[in-house]
Amino acid sequence: MADITYIPIRQLHPHPDNPRKELGDLSELAASIKENGVYQNLTVIPGHYLSSREYISKCVDEGGDAAAAAAAWVPKVMWVGDDYTIIIGHRRAAAAQQAGLSELPCAIVEMDEREQMQTMMVENMQRSDLTVYEQAQGFQMMMDFGQTVEQISDKSGFSQSTVRRRIKLLELNHDSFKKAEKRGATLSDFAQLDKIEDLEARNRVLETLGTQNFNRAMQDALEQQKWQHQKAEWIEQLKKFATEDSQESGAQKRKSSCRKMPTRSLMSIRSVKIRLTCTNLAIRKPRMPATRRGRPQEPPSSLRENSLPLLRSSCTSCAGTS
């Protein structure tokens, strides 16, 4: 058990990888700390990453340019051995500073980066302090440090499927995701987006999440996805049909199959309008023919006339007979 040491607040620095990016409203916590003090100690590690102000000051002191230093700074640009980095207690530290306290009780520990990330994730999740997106970022960081989904599940208390779904949310547009959260989107709403395979379409629907247009946008996206699958299946069937036909041997056999082909192909794909050129294949959305007394209507003469040269063109032996 680490000893408790009182450390000046000015020497305590937030961890740049803290999963919780927004500390929320601190006024109530600050009022409580001002009246009663801090009951629970913070957990910190020795050393810290230079803040933007510290890094620029250091570069200027060494003869560098302030503008260049400001452009080069990132949250983990340089580690120094003085002061301390907070692992547990970010909100308490910020609220205590707001309340006017000058020092805080801290337990000083030694941790590697993986242990730091793991400790912050577990602590925040136990307190329900993280948003869904912050959870996803935390899980991804743990995986970046070599943790498996199973290990993350054991340490965080979330199921493996939940961990995978959270991480998948990182594919979505961050700004649109945050706006959806502010509109009151629920976890079940975000889970519905998994049904959409295309990422671009998923992000379009995400923009409507938390609004009255979400269900309609979701339905349209799923219908479009179903149609794309249907179209791909038809194209594969046509390619397979053309390949099988090209493998038939004997001129007489090929001519015979060409004469029978219009009837057979119209029976199987009469609802699809096909246009073939030398270089491309275009398929339009099917339009079911009207029926009368339960019997399919005969294909229009225009479709029969357009299909015949199309199908004959697939047979090389018909080139001179069309």
pLDDT digits (tens, 9 = 90+) for 118-133: 888 777 776 655 677 8
Give the CB-side neighbour count of residue 31, counting CA atoms within 13 A. 3
Dihedral sign of CA atoms 159, 163, 169, 174 in order: positive
CA dist 196 and 224 (Å) reads 10
Q: Which residues pair with 4 in a beta bridge?
A: 107
Write the CB contacts of 150 (distance below 8 Å, at least 6 apart in sequence): 160
CA dist 47 and 11 (Å) reads 10
Give the CB-side neighbour count of residue 158, counting CA atoms within 13 A. 21
pLDDT for position 93: 92
pLDDT digits (tens, 9 = 90+) for 181-209: 888 887 778 888 888 888 888 899 889 88
- The three state secondary structure string of 31-85 is HHHHHHCCCCCEEEEEEEECCHHHHHHHHHHCCCCHHHHHHHCCCCCCEEEEEEE
In the predicted model, is pLDDT for residue 319 greater than 70? Answer: no
pLDDT for position 235: 87
Q: What are the phi and psi torsion angles at 7 (to 5°)? A: -120, 135
In the predicted model, is pLDDT for residue 283 greater than 70? Answer: no
pLDDT digits (tens, 9 = 90+) for 40-98: 899 999 999 999 999 999 999 998 899 998 999 988 889 998 999 999 989 899 999 99
Q: Which residues pair with 79 in a beta bridge?
A: 49
- Strands (E) in 112-200, as ranges, are none
Write the CB contacts of 273 (distance below 8 Å, at least 6 apart in sequence): 283, 284, 287, 303
Percent of the chain with pLDDT over 70: 73
